[in-house]
Amino acid sequence: VHTEFNQDVVKKTKTIYLKGGQLTFTGRYWGSVGHTYEIEFDKEAFNMQSKRAYKHPEMVAAHMCGGDDGTLSFTLKPRKKGEFTVIEIFKFRGQETKRIKNTIVVK
| Residue range 6-62, pLDDT digits in tens | 545 566 677 777 787 899 999 999 999 999 999 999 999 999 999 999 999 999 899
Instruction: Give pTM, 2 decimals.
Output: 0.81
C-alpha span between 33 and 91 (Å, rounded): 11
Dump strand ranges (E) for 1-107: 10-18, 23-29, 35-40, 46-54, 70-78, 82-92, 95-106
3-state SS class at 61: helix
Count of CB atoms within 10 A of residue 101's CB?
17
Tens-place pLDDT, residues 58-75: 998 998 888 899 999 999
Q: Residue length, the chain?
A: 107
Question: According to the model, what pLDDT value does residue 51 have?
Answer: 96
CB atoms within 10 A of CB 52: 13
CB atoms within 10 A of CB 51: 11
Using 50, 70 and 90 to split pLDDT, how confident is the model at 3? very low
Q: Which amino acid is at 88?
A: E
